[in-house]
Structure formats: structure tokens, C-alpha cells
Amino acid sequence: MRTLDTARFRDADKYLSYLNTRSGRLRSELALENLRGFLPSQGYRLRVLDLGGGTGFASIRLARMEFEVVLLDSSEEMLGIARMEAEANGVDAKIVFCQADAAQVCRLFEAESFDIVVCHNLLEYVADPRAILRSLGKIVRQNAVVSILVRNRAGEVLRAAIKLGDFGLARTNLTAETVTDSLFDEPVRVFDPTDLSLAQADQGLGIVAEYGVRVFSDYVDTDLNADTYRQLFELESILGAQPKFAAIARYSQLIARRSSASTSQGTTG
């Protein structure tokens, strides 16, 4: 079981260029803002695993909050960029950079090693997402926070129908296991959030909140200058916290806690 060898991991510069656009930033910043509500204001002595953390967006921001961060990624190129970004932001001493496949986490880390796990846009690329979730259930401590961000199948249906005007593809995406990534033109997995919730519950990870990320911005053409970006971010934040809108977002974010009596607590908003 290995992380899929896609162009996303081979062409780190292209991926970073996308993340630095306002559209790319929107996904990362919305997801981190959602997670922030479940974090202590200061992370001193608390350990974070940024699984598949790529170029370090989440790691750097969590390191600024005084968390001790392990950024694990399979791409040497991604980690190289993350190191440079961390140094530029003065937080490289707070981050351990680990090049490894996500499937190796249980061999790399002892049980109950982390207080927080960030797993954003990784499960789309691994051979066995459930195995990754099983691993997370083992390496997190009691009451740890786990944030999962994945592509939402419903969002791919709407994007095909509204943005691309391809109604045949929209119908296909209703049941598709994978879709074609628009940046690298390669297949990536899509998820039904309900199925993912059940899978997390099986590992003792009780869902405490669900959000939609990029509820509508992927389906329309928007000129994102600084002012419109701020307004868009605020509106997306409001909509993404409401289940009726979160259900059709391009991405789904599930936040869970690990406890001895973990039970799903439904959707917030």
C-alpha cells in the first residue's frame, strides 16, 4: 500500500504555484480556519502530525501557534519547499520534516503520539484510505483532534454541470470513484462524506463537526482581487458551516476527536 505516484508529488513547484493563487489559498485557509475553532489558543508542548502536508501551509501556521509539528510527506521536492518556507517564516525549529509514505505512520510513530492530526487532501491519493484512518486511530492520544479534508463527490457533479457544462460527465460523477484533476489531468479519488464518517467512527474517531469547503466558488467565474477575496472568504465560511450548503461543496471537512467512548455527534452549523 503506497501513496499514488501522481504529478502532484512530482511537480511540487506547479502545485505550490496553484496554492499561492487566491483560489488555491481559499481551500487551505478555510480548512485551517475551521480547524482553529477546535484548537487551544497556544499549542505549547502539544504535538501535531501534518500528514501529507506538502509544501507546509498548515505546518507553518500551526508552528506559529507554538505547536510541535511533524510534517510527513512522500515527496522530497515538497518537503524541500516546506523547509524553505518554514525558514522564511522563522518557524523551522518547530517543525520536523519527515519523508515517508503515509502508510508507514504506525511504524514511524508510537501509539498515542499526537494531540492533533491534519490530513488535508491526502486520502484522494492513497491506495487504501481506510487503512490510513486505522493508523490515525492508533497514533493519536485520547481527546486528540483529527481534521480530514477530501474531495466531495457531489461537488464534482456540480462542477461538471455548472462550470464545465458537461451534463454527461455530471451524471457519471454521481457514482464515480475517481475524477480527473483539473490541475494535473490525472485521476483522483472522490468521497461521500457519510461513508467517510462511518469509517472514522470505526476507528474510535467521533465526528464533532462537518464543513463544506468552497461551497460555490468552484462553480462560477470570479475575479478575486483582495477585496472580493475577503468577501468570498467570509461568505464561504458562513455557508460551509451549514449542512444544507456543505453537502454540495467541492470539498468536505470532517473534524473528529479520539476518546474511549467516541460517538458521532452529527453536523454543526
Residue 114 pLDDT level (bands cut at 50, 70, 90)? very high
The answer to whether residue 221 scores a pLDDT higher than 50 is: yes
Q: Taking all residues of the chain, what is their mean pLDDT, rounded to a whole number?
A: 88
pLDDT, one tens digit per residue, over 32-88 is: 999 999 998 776 789 999 999 999 999 999 999 999 999 999 999 999 999 999 999
Question: Distances in Å between the alpha carbon of 62 and those of 32, 69, 147, 258?
Answer: 9, 7, 13, 20
What is the reported pLDDT for 260?
59
Percent of the chain with pLDDT over 90: 68
In the chain, the amino acid numbered 65 is: M
User: Counting beta carbons within 10 angstroms of the beta carbon of residue 60, is it exposed (0 to 12), middle (13 to 18) or buried (19 or more)?
Assistant: buried
Among the ranges given (6-10, 98-102, 164-168), the one the predictor scored with the smallest mean pLDDT: 6-10
Residue 263 has pLDDT above 50, yes or no: no
Model pTM? 0.88
Q: Provide mean pLDDT across the span 17-42.
A: 88
Banded pLDDT at 118 (limits 50, 70, 90): very high
Residue-range domains of the chain with CATH: 7-258 (3.40.50.150)
**Residue, of 227 and 67, whose pLDDT is higher:** 67
If you average pLDDT over residues 176-189, what whole number do you get?
87
pLDDT at 1: 31
Task: Count CA atoms within 13 Å of residue 15 on its CB side.
Answer: 23
132 contacts 112 by C-beta, under 8 angstroms: no
Residue 90, judged by CB atoms within 10 A of its CB (0-12, 13-18, 19+), counts as: exposed
pLDDT for 266 beyond 70: no
CA angle 83, 85, 89 (to 5 degrees): 115
